Amino acid sequence: MKGILSGNAEQITQLLSPQISAEKKGVQQDQKTNAMTGGRSGGTAAGNAAAGDKVHSDITNLVGSLTGSAASGLTSVGANLLSTGVSGSSASFDEAKTMQAQRAAQINDIVKSGASVAAGVIGGLPGSPGGWQDLASNALAGQS
């Protein structure tokens, strides 16, 4: 595709050399046959000259057709790459979102564990509601 779309006549000729060669050989064979079997009238000479023009026309049509096909193929490749890139970006975003949710859950677990430990420590301090001293004074108050 790159060589055909380059616009460089040498590259295009090199890429299409098998087709061009076959076309030229076919015309040369026809001209040779006409020279051996046909007369030397104006019609035969004109037909041989027209055959050369037809080769040129066929080559031009071939290049034009392939250039259009290559450009269309390149557009298709570009669209596919864009689609793949968008899909990859979307998958990466989803993965990052999942990782963020997992990390938030871990942090919540740590905070809850810390709060639970802190509540146990605070509950054991003298003078705190529900602490050992408060519970002991409530128990002893009922015995007087």
Give the alpha-carbon dihedral of 32, 36, 39, 44, to 10 degrees. Answer: -10
Contact between 13 and 82 under an 8 Å Cβ cutoff? The reply is no
Q: What are the pLDDT tens digits along the chain (144 aa)?
A: 566 666 667 777 777 778 878 878 887 887 778 777 766 666 777 777 777 778 778 887 777 777 767 667 777 777 878 888 888 888 888 888 899 999 999 998 888 888 777 766 665 555 555 555 665 666 666 665
Q: What pTM was estimated for this model as a whole?
A: 0.38
What span, in angstroms and rounded, lies between the C-alpha atoms of 125 and 35? 121
- Tell me the C-alpha distance between 113 and 121, whole Å: 12
> What pLDDT score does 104 carry?
92
pLDDT at residue 29, rounded to an integer:
81
Instruction: Please compute, for residue 16, the number of CA atoms within 13 A of its CA located in the half-sphere on the CB side.
Output: 23
pLDDT reported for residue 100 = 92
Measured CA distances, 66 to 1, 13, 27, 43, 144 (Å)? 9, 12, 22, 34, 109
Q: What own/partner pairs with CB < 8 Å and gap ≥ 24 does 57-60 have?
A: 58/23, 59/16, 59/19, 59/20, 59/23
- Separation CA 96–CA 75 (nearest Å): 31
